[in-house]
Amino acid sequence: MKNEHFLQIQSRIIESAQVPQSVASAMEDWSNWMRHGTGVKGYPGASVGFSTGGINCFDDMDSAAANYAARAVDGAIDSLDHVSRTCIGIIWLGHTIRLNRINVEQKSIEAIKVIWRGLQIRGVA
């Protein structure tokens, strides 16, 4: 379970950065993807759907889209400077790195704006 304190900070950062809720969802998918390494988990049960192109049901399609979004976020984060990447890691992944004389929340707000632009370029947000 995620720490309530970090969830509040994440919400504050998304709100302060004035980015769409889709960015918050993409960041959530990315953090799950980074923690588990096996892709974003979809619905617990499979739903009836269609079978074309290797996609067997809606859950497969949803999972593929979430994984694409997670990889897009990861690419956008990779384009950030080291301090911004570290701040994102602290807030979304719970890294325990200390940064001297840096406002982690403010740096994360700036980083989220850059991530949003990266997601727009990649067609995710």
pTM over 0.85: no
Residue 39 has pLDDT above 60, yes or no: no
**Residue 37: predicted pLDDT:** 63
Sign of CA dihedral 77, 78, 79, 84: positive
Strand-pairing partners, residue 52, are 55
Residue 74 has pLDDT above 50, yes or no: yes
**Interval 84-99 mean pLDDT:** 87
